[in-house]
């Protein structure tokens, strides 16, 4: 064929055929439908002489057709059903034309059959509509599609429980937060939550472990047959494993049957006054918190402020006290006799507080062993020091009684004999002054009888102004005298020898006073006889 003939044929084709093609295809198809370009493919979308029909579209888009038949998905909603596909999806606008386009802000997602709730409603479309979430194999490799997702949570979310819980996550979780399983009713499980268990965070019981390199929270298979599966047995099995015998779910501190609780099963038996105490008197923090009980001072303060401490360590209270009470003390006389001050005499009957609680407060330390450590030396300044050397009261006194004096009066210039040896010391050594105040007299005392005894004879027997009582009297008895009447001017004979003294020596009263007259100026008979 010659060149000129070929040019004529091609010219005719462009003049005749190209205008027809331009009338059939108004523009290029989008990238999605580019494979349908060409006159021979027109009838795949268009009926002869008609526009694009819905049936033609669905014949190709089988997934949408299936969804519509099953009445699910957006294309089965009342907003789309009955409409032709071309109303929303136009073609022949070029390769880069977005055939799938809609107003995302105003799109009503619930018409797809999946209502966006909570956090879902605030997410961008691409956060969920990702190729990796597409489960339908027919849609794999089509990044522009919004189909291929299902309604189950695990389509987008990883199974945190790794198959150990139901795949219906919304049975427990809300769309606002995964952490708050507000929809889960624990009472539907084999372990209903009662009392304080209601307020416990889930992860306190359902611990998180690592499985296959990923964290997993344990929900199934937890032991719950006994409290000790979760709680430590602070009683160390002393009361068995059935905690519900004493405790309930409200609080471990509320113990039922406290009145019948056998404390003797613990390491501390309740004896004496301990039985009368309320539990909280000892168990101040909690009934289960360990309490030291091997020493009384674990609970009781050292009332004696370390008076009995040795090397800074106080002995246990039970050495002197028992559980029946701190009073009386069990500290015995035998124990006291092992100290530096054995109890003797009247000290045996002296109450402890008389020595150890003088100032209203018990004191046991540095008490001393001398009499003056407790007793006042009432003779100080009144008695010569040679008789009470170093304030030693035992020079005169004994522990049996203060009134029993062992002082040897022979050491003085006045030996005690007769009635003098029987009288109380104070009869001679105590007196009252002009103001009626009792005073002591031990030094500067006269040995004359008249210094203590009244001269009832009004000086009748004075010799050179002095009366010597011992000429007639003895220390045994005043009335029994050693006076011999025959040594006087008037010897007794005859009837006079048997006469009574008072028959001749009568009481008289004169300027000297009232007294019995023993001396007469005259011894004539007429003095007595008329």
The answer on 414 and 458 residing in a single domain is no
The answer on 419 and 517 residing in a single domain is no
Residue 265 confidence (pLDDT): 78
Residue 6 confidence (pLDDT): 41
DSSP 8-state symbol, 108: -
3-state secondary structure of 425: helix
> What is the number of residues in the chain?
530
Please identify which residue in the block is written with the tokens 């690592």.
210
Kindly calculate the radius of gyration of the chain based on its CA atoms and give it in whole angstroms: 65
Rounded to two decimals, what is the model's pTM? 0.44
CB 316 within 8 Å of CB 303: no
The answer on 138 and 54 residing in a single domain is yes
Residue 288 confidence (pLDDT): 66
The region, left, alpha or beta by phi > 0 then psi within -120 to 50, assigned to residue 454 is: beta
The answer on 93 and 29 residing in a single domain is yes
CA distance 506 to 517: 6
Q: Is residue 289 part of a domain?
A: no
The answer on 440 and 457 residing in a single domain is no
Q: Look at residues 362, 383, 405 and tell me which one is the last residue of a structural domain.
A: 362
pLDDT tens readout for residues 483-506: 999 999 999 999 999 999 989 999
Q: Is residue 274 part of a domain?
A: no
The answer on 108 and 175 residing in a single domain is no
Q: Is residue 484 part of a domain?
A: yes
The answer on 415 and 347 residing in a single domain is no
The answer on 182 and 112 residing in a single domain is no
* Burial degree of 74 (CB within 10 A; 0-12, 13-18, 19+): buried
pLDDT tens readout for residues 289-335: 778 888 888 888 888 888 888 888 888 998 899 999 888 888 999 99
Residues of the chain with pLDDT under 70: 1-24, 257-260, 288
The answer on 397 and 427 residing in a single domain is yes
CA distance 403 to 414: 20
**Segments forming the whole domain that contains residue 86:** 24-149
Domain count of the fold of the chain: 5
Tokens matching residue 184: 């889960």
Residue 94 confidence (pLDDT): 92
Of 328, 361, 362, 356, which Cα lies nearest the Cα of 343? 356
Q: What sign does the dihedral 159-162-166-167 (CA atoms) show? A: positive
Q: Is residue 219 part of a domain?
A: no
Of 54, 76, 78, which Cα lies nearest the Cα of 66? 76
Tokens matching residue 224: 């719950």
Residue 19 confidence (pLDDT): 43
Residue 191 confidence (pLDDT): 87
Please identify which residue in the block is written with the tokens 């268990």.
197
The answer on 78 and 31 residing in a single domain is yes
The answer on 401 and 438 residing in a single domain is yes
CB 472 within 8 Å of CB 463: no
Q: Is residue 245 part of a domain?
A: no
Q: Is residue 416 part of a domain?
A: yes
Q: Look at residues 149, 183, 201 and tell me which one is the last residue of a structural domain.
A: 149
Q: How many CB atoms lie within 10 A of CB 129?
A: 17
The answer on 31 and 123 residing in a single domain is yes
Q: Is residue 5 part of a domain?
A: no
Q: Is residue 283 part of a domain?
A: no
């Amino acid at each position: 064929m010659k060149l000129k003939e070929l040019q004529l044929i091609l010219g005719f084709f462009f003049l005749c055929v190209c205008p027809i093609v331009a009338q059939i295809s108004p523009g290029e198809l989008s990238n999605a439908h580019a494979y349908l370009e060409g006159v021979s493919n027109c009838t795949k979308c268009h009926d002869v002489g008609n526009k694009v029909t819905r049936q033609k579209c669905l014949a190709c888009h089988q997934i949408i057709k299936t969804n519509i038949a099953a009445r699910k998905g957006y294309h089965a909603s009342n907003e789309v059903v009955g409409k032709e596909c071309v109303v929303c999806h136009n073609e022949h606008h070029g390769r880069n034309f977005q055939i799938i386009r809609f107003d995302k802000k105003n799109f009503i997602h619930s018409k797809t059959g999946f209502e966006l709730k909570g956090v879902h409603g605030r997410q961008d479309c691409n956060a969920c509509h990702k190729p990796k979430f597409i489960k339908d194999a027919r849609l794999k490799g089509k990044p522009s599609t919004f189909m291929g997702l299902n309604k189950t949570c695990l389509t987008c979310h990883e199974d945190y429980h790794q198959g150990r819980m139901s795949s219906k996550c919304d049975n427990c979780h809300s769309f606002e937060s995964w952490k708050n399983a507000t929809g889960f009713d624990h009472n539907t499980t084999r372990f209903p939550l009662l009392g304080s268990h209601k307020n416990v965070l889930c992860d306190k019981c359902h611990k998180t472990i690592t499985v296959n390199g990923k964290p997993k929270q344990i929900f199934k298979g937890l032991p719950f047959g006994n409290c000790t599966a979760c709680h430590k047995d602070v009683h160390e099995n002393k009361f068995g494993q059935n905690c519900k015998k004493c405790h309930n779910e409200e609080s471990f501190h509320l113990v039922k049957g406290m009145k019948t609780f056998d404390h003797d099963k613990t390491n501390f038996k309740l004896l004496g006054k301990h039985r009368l105490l309320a539990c909280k008197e000892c168990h101040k923090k909690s009934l289960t918190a360990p309490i030291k009980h091997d020493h009384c001072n674990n609970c009781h303060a050292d009332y004696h402020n370390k008076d009995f401490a040795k090397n800074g360590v106080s002995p246990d209270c039970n050495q002197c006290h028992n559980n029946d009470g701190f009073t009386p003390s069990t500290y015995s006389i035998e124990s006291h006799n092992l100290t530096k001050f054995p109890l003797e005499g009247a000290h045996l009957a002296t109450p402890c507080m008389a020595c150890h609680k003088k100032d209203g407060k018990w004191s046991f330390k540095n008490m001393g062993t001398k009499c003056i450590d407790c007793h006042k030396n009432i003779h100080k300044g009144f008695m010569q020091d040679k008789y009470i050397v170093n304030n030693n009261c035992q020079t005169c006194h004994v522990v049996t009684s203060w009134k029993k004096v062992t002082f040897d009066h022979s050491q003085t210039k006045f030996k005690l004999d007769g009635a003098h040896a029987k009288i109380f010391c104070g009869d001679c050594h105590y007196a009252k002054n002009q103001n009626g105040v009792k005073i002591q007299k031990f030094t500067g005392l006269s040995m004359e009888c008249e210094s203590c005894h009244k001269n009832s004879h009004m000086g009748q027997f004075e010799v050179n102004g002095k009366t010597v009582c011992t000429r007639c009297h003895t220390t045994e008895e005043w009335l029994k005298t050693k006076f011999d009447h025959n040594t006087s001017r008037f010897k007794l004979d005859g009837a006079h020898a048997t006469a009574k003294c008072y028959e001749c020596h009568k009481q008289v009263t004169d300027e000297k006073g009232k007294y019995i007259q023993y001396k007469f100026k005259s011894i004539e008979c007429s003095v007595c006889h008329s």
